[in-house]
Structures are given as C-alpha cells and as structure tokens.
Amino acid sequence: MVVKPVIGNFIWNIIEKFLRALFMLLINVLLVASYSYEKFGEYAFSLIVVNLLSVGVSFGFSQSGNSEIIGKRGVPCKQKIGKIFVTKLWVLCFVLSATIFIAIMYEQPFLVYLIGLLALPLSETFEYRLNFHGKSKSYVKIKVLLLLSGFGCKFIALELGVGLEAIGIITSIEAILILVIYYISLPRLKFQFYSWFDFSLARKMLPIALASSIVIVFNQIDILFIKGEVNLYSIGLYITIAQLCNTFAIIPVLLNSAVQGQLRNTQLKNKLIFHSYIKRLFILYSFFGISISLLLYKYGDIIYGVFYQSNVEYSHLIVDVFGIYSMSVMFFFVSVFINMNLVLRSMNSIILLKNIFSVIIALILLSFFVDGYSLKGAAFSFVLAQLLGQIILPLLVIMYISKKID
C-alpha cells in the first residue's frame, strides 16, 4: 500500500537526482582524463568542504522537513514552511561567512560554488511545497532539462580546457535558474513568509543539522585520513569509487521523503498499521540495498575496466577497493531507514549520537588498517564503521527503548 504512491509521485524526482549523481561521476571521469593526477585530487578533495557546508545550509530540513511541516491531517502547514524558510536564511548568513573565510584562508577553489550554495536552501524549501501539492512533476522535468544542458556545458568546458572553475560557475548558474523557476510558482501556491527567527524550531532541528554535518564528516573521514598517506591521484580515484556507489544513495532518501508524511499520519491514527508499514518498508529498503550492492560487486570490474582502462597500474587496486566499498550501499539503505524511524519516534538526539560514535569507530579502525592496507584498508574501515555505528548501535538502542516502553 505504501510502495505504489511512492513510485507514482516521486519517479521524476528519482530520475533527476540519479542523473545528477551520475553526471557528477562522468564529469569526474572526464577530469581524470583531462587534468593532471594532482589537479584532479585537489578538485575532488575540495568538494568535501562544499558538501559539508551544503548540509550546514540545509540545517536538517532534508531529513526532518516532512515530519515538521505535515499537519495532523497530512496537510502541509504554511506557517511552518514559512518559519523554516526564514530560519534557514539566518543559518545561511552564518554558513556563507564561514565559507568565504575558509576559502580565503586556505585558498580552496570552491568560492565559485557560493552562488549555488546560496540558492540551495531556498529552492529546497519551495520543492517540498510543490511536492505536497502534487505539482512537482513539471518542475522536475525542467530541472532534468537544465541538468542535461549543464552537463553539456561542463563537457564542452573540459574539452576546451577552460579550467576547473568553470564547473563550479556552471553549477551555480544551474542552481539560480532552478530557484527562479520555483519562485515563479510562489504566487499560485500562496506561500506564507514569516519574518522572525523561530528559536523553538531551530532548537528542534539543531540535532538533525549537527547529525547531518557529522555524517558528512563520517562519509568523508576515510578520505581525510588517507590524504597524507597516498598521492592525490589515488585520493581522486578513491573519491570517484565512492561517488559511483553514492549514485544510488539518493533512492532511499527520496523514499523517505515520499513515505514520511503518510507514516506520521498513520502513526497518529493507528499504531498497529504503522508498525506493519515499518516492517514492510524495512524489507523493501533492505532488498533494494542488497540487490544494488551485489550488482556493483559483481560488475564493478567491468565498469572500471571501461573508465580507467589506461591506468593499468591501478586497475587491480581499483577493483579490490570497489568490491569492498560497494557493500556500503546496502548499509546506507538500512541506515537511512533507521534515521526515518528515529525521526518519527522523536529520537533526533540518537541520530546525532550514532553519527558521533560512527566517526569515533571509523577513526579507530582507520588507524589500524590504513598503514598496512592503504586504500583497501580505508574502504574496509569505513564499511565496518558504517555497519557498527550506523546500523547495529541504533538498532540496539531502539530495541532497548521499545522494550522499556512496553
């Protein structure tokens, strides 16, 4: 009963997000072929900072937005959306100031992403509003067209040798156009704005915002750890392996966005049906995660045989690392499901704690395995830390609390 509306309402969102991740992967492949190994490594490493700052701007809305703005009857609350919008604007000012400071102090080449970073929280809020009114399909189609155009421009820029900064500029232009498209829809949707910072809302969303930032650190901690251990080209290849696996990560995130409102409504009306839905969704998430992981593990050597056929010296290492890292997809699906479960149970602080413990576990494992096994050790440490910190630990906490309540 849950699966059918999910697929029907969010298929275009899945296409758009999947294409975005896939095109980013292809751009990285072109960068490997077009630029020096060190230059590519510097570019790939700088994107880690961009991802972290983007999560800071989002302020946890991506994870808890549906739960916050859905009313008791499953109708989006205009006042809540307006308050979230203004609250995120204040957060945006702080994050952008930090971005400029970091970019100037460390001379990182991500200043060109600032405009895109500015447009992110605004368009994200509008997109949720459109989703709830069932009007997102046509806008997502436009986003797909912009995405295809942006990829074409980036490809031409790389072929002409314009420079890495052109990638960031094109990305920012694309973000601005998306924001303009969403803004045009506002009068018809009667979007309500509120001018004051909502401290109670900010306090409620703060654990999710911190957890989101920490999970980005966790997802990149293996890369941060090996930065001084291997050359920049190896780091670039490792990041590209991670991005290929993360191409599929958008699927469980979109599934969460699709079902969270319905689950919240069901939770308030009938707990038995709610628990039944939770069990079915757990099976669905696990099935998708395991299937994709096995496919990546089985055919990863074919993919990298095509992408990196000129780098013979790295081919065996790439296949080995990819085989290990592909297991992270399966664990990520389950982890996203657990996060949704915790948000629905109002256990936002548990998400923060599990991410902190995941970082600690990863640091311990990396210190043991990286020295002897290099990139393979980093991949193994990350996947094992993901299993222990993101899945086993929160499941034990949920089981303990549920038993205590019963």
HEC secondary structure over 335-387: HHHHHHHHHHCCCHHHHHHHHHHHHHHHHHHHHHHHHHHHHHHHHHHHHHHHH
Other Cβ atoms within 10 Å of 299 Cβ, number: 12
Tokens describing residue 21: 């991740």
**Residue 71, pLDDT score:** 47
d(CA 232, CA 37): 7
Residue 22 has pLDDT above 60, yes or no: yes
Weakest-pLDDT range from 82-86, 172-176, 375-379 = 82-86
Could you tell me which of 328, 300, 327, 329 has the C-alpha nearest to residue 316?
300
Express each pLDDT in 321-349 by its tens digit. 888 888 998 999 999 888 888 877 777 77
**Residue 200, pLDDT score:** 61
Query: Residue 196 carries which DSSP code?
Result: S
Asked whether the beta carbons of 289 and 311 are under 8 A apart, the reply is no
% residues pLDDT > 90 (the chain):
5
Q: How many angstroms from the chain centroid is the CA of residue 362? A: 19
| SS3 (DSSP) at 108 | coil
For every residue of 215-227, DSSP letters joined together read HHHHHHHHHHHHT
d(CA 31, CA 172): 19
H/E segment holding residue 321: helix 312-325
**Residue 131, pLDDT score:** 55
The residues, any chain, with a CB within 8 Å of residue 279's CB and separated by 6 or more, are none
| For range 354-373, the mean pLDDT | 87
385: pLDDT confidence band, cut at 50, 70 and 90?
A: very high
Other Cβ atoms within 10 Å of 113 Cβ, number: 25
- Give me the residue label for tokens 């640091």: 363
Q: Where are the domains of the chain?
A: 3-405
Weakest-pLDDT range from 257-271, 358-372, 387-401 = 257-271
Could you tell me which of 167, 145, 168, 147 has the C-alpha nearest to residue 155?
167
Residue 32 has pLDDT above 90, yes or no: no
Asked whether the beta carbons of 360 and 353 are under 8 A apart, the reply is no
Residue 132 has pLDDT above 70, yes or no: no
Torsion of CA 268, 270, 272, 273, to 10 degrees: -100
Other Cβ atoms within 10 Å of 165 Cβ, number: 15
d(CA 343, CA 350): 9
| For range 206-234, the mean pLDDT | 71
